[in-house]
Amino acid sequence: MGRPPCCDKIGVKKGPWTPEEDISLVSYIQQNGPGNWRSVPTNTGLLRCSKSCRLRWTNYLRPGIKRGNFSEQEEKMIIHLQALLGNRWAAIASYLPQRTDNDIKNYWNTHLKKKLEKLNEISDDENHHHHHHHNHHHHHNRRSKRCHSSTSSSSCDQTSISKGQWERRLQTDIHMAKQALCDALSLDNKSINLPKSPLSNQTSSSSYASSAENIAKLLPNWMNSSKKSSQTSSESVETTQTTQCSLINQQVMITSPLSEGYNNSIQFGYINNNSLIHNNIQKNNNYSNYSNSDVSQSVSPERSMFLDHESKPKMEDQMPPLSLLEKWLFDEAATQSDLMNMSLEESDDFF
């Protein structure tokens, strides 16, 4: 039979989170850092399962999350990465540091997939100008429309591939890593048409409330009703942001040797965006027991690779730094088949 439920169904709340629950979770994580989710419901009194707490934190409450308003560059990145990696949303999200995998997945399913389908239709019409393609868009009900149509050869139906998923991913990652190295060894600025700090163009005036803003809204109320903490709401939020900024700085240090000449790269856009916050935060870091490994649990594995040097490398850790992918990500002429056609043996030699 199936595995037993992850948590006791009786007395465990489900559904949307209330502001009070958010406050409770945020204040606990402020004091203890993310991770050890099992203990969260017990220690906070939240009537939620640990999984729900983790999800709420990583997808909504975690600082540094940008919501909605995907830029054109982000769109392109998602499309390119999805074509290359398939529906590996966590891996894709690691190249869009302010986006959650859930957000990217939703955006893909609701916007990009349709967009690409339309584009494909157009190209189909061009290719088969006089051919009758009928019933291509049959009347499917709402559910069947979801997920099952793929706009790229490598997405969705991974089970149809004879190779194991693990093997396939490994191969893809090796290809990517190799390509990244090739790029790094033959940098050619002229061929790069990089966006100008796309992420830094995103301002806090976005019509979507950022997670930090959400927390900031919540915490004053919490402070009024609680005497346990002496933190002000803004300090509380800023503290978490400081932690993330330190994260970012480490990423710069590690990736910059390969990023020379890419000063307008995305990673710097990301950093610039956050340095605005960083400038305002130099005080009251109450995450004294908030170790790097704790931090790394709040970010995806790909992101945490920049922090946790002692951890055992995971498969996705073989991904090249973002800056190395930019070249082909933003080069419309780049052919992904070039990447995919490289043999595994070559890759083995390379490493």
The dihedral sign for the CA sequence 95, 100, 102, 104: negative
What would the two tokens of residue 350 be? 């390379």
Closer CB to DNA, 51 or 309, in the complex: 51
Please, what is the minimum distance in Å from the beta carbon of residue 51 to DNA?
6
Closer Cβ to DNA, 54 or 327, answer by number: 54
The DSSP call for residue 315 is G
Least distance to DNA, CB of residue 89, Å: 4
Q: Nearest approach, Cβ of 103 to DNA (angstroms)?
A: 6
In angstroms, what is the minimal distance from the CB of 34 to DNA? 8
d(Cα 161, Cα 157) in Å, to the nearest integer? 8
DSSP 168: H
Distance CA 321, CA 255 (A): 6
Residue span 298-317 as binding mask against DNA, x where in contact by CB under 7 A, dash where not? --xx---------xx-xx--
User: What residues between 25 and 84 interact with DNA by CB under 7 A?
Assistant: 35-38, 48, 50-52, 54-56, 58-60, 67-68
Of residues 112-141, which lie at the interface with DNA (CB under 7 A)? Answer: 114
Q: How far is CA 284 from CA 32, 131, 240, in A?
A: 15, 68, 10
Alpha-carbon Rg of the chain, whole angstroms?
A: 22
Q: 23 near 236, Cβ under 8 Å?
A: no
17 binds DNA (CB under 7 A): yes
Beta carbon nearer to DNA, 52 or 255: 52
Q: Which is nearer to DNA, 72 or 188 (CB)?
A: 72
Which is closer to DNA, CB of 22 or CB of 183? 22
- Of 269 and 301, nearer to DNA (C-beta) is 301
Minimum CB distance to DNA smaller for 148 or for 309: 148
Residue whose pair of structure tokens reads 């061929």 in the numeric block: 191
Contact with DNA (CB under 7 A) among 32, 120, 149, 158: 158
Q: Is 120 exposed, middle or buried (0-12, 13-18, 19+ CB in 10 A)?
A: middle
Q: State in angstroms the smallest separation of the CB of 325 from DNA.
A: 17
Q: Does 344 bind DNA (CB under 7 A)?
A: no
Compute how many other C-beta atoms are within 10 angstroms of the C-beta atom of residue 248. 22
Which of 28, 95, 107, 306 touches DNA by CB under 7 A?
107
Query: Among 16, 72, 127, 160, which residue sits at the site for DNA (rule: CB under 7 A)?
Result: 16
Residue closest to 265 by CA, chosen among 327, 203, 183, 312: 327
Contact between 329 and 67 (Cβ < 8 Å): no
Q: Which is nearer to DNA, 111 or 163 (CB)?
A: 111
Q: What sign has the CA pseudo-torsion 331, 337, 342, 347?
A: positive
By CB under 7 A, residue 297 contacts DNA:
yes
CA distance 20 to 29: 14
Does 290 participate in binding DNA (rule CB under 7 A)? no
d(CA 12, CA 5): 12
The size of the interface with DNA (CB under 7 A), counted in residues, is 57
Instruction: Count other Cβ atoms within 10 Å, centred on residue 289.
Output: 9
The site for DNA (CB under 7 A) is made up of: 2-3, 5-6, 13-17, 35-38, 48, 50-52, 54-56, 58-60, 67-68, 87-91, 101-103, 105-107, 109-111, 114, 142-143, 145-148, 156, 158, 165-166, 297, 300-301, 311-312, 314-315
